[in-house]
Amino acid sequence: GTWLSSARRDAARLEREGTPWARAPALGVRAGLAARRGRDAEAVAHLRQAARAFREIDMGLCATVADWRLGTLIGGEEGRQLLESADASMRTQSIVRPDRVAALFAPGFARG
């Protein structure tokens, strides 16, 4: 849809800025776009980079959301550990519904 095109343009604009503050969210947008297209390996790579980039700029909640999305996407033992860790981290910040925070901070992962 139209919002997917807009998201691609937004990610490209952020990437052109070339700053760490722009790179981290651009990676998150790229991850969501890849997941929407069923390109899970690409989405996983972007999420791993996004989590690292968010941590480098001290945006811990955004990094935790990237980990949460990564956990739901990869599944298995690693995914379970990521989800548990992200849930625990969010709960220490009085977040009761990590899934809703993930939907707010990192939308677009549902296919359709």
**Spatial separation of the C-alpha atoms in residues 42 and 19, rounded to whole Å:** 22
The pTM of the full predicted model, rounded to 2 decimals, is 0.89
CB 29 within 8 A of CB 9: no
Q: What is the pLDDT of residues 52-110, one digit of tens each?
A: 999 999 999 999 999 999 999 999 999 999 999 999 999 999 999 999 999 999 987 87
Tokens 């929407």 belong to residue: 36
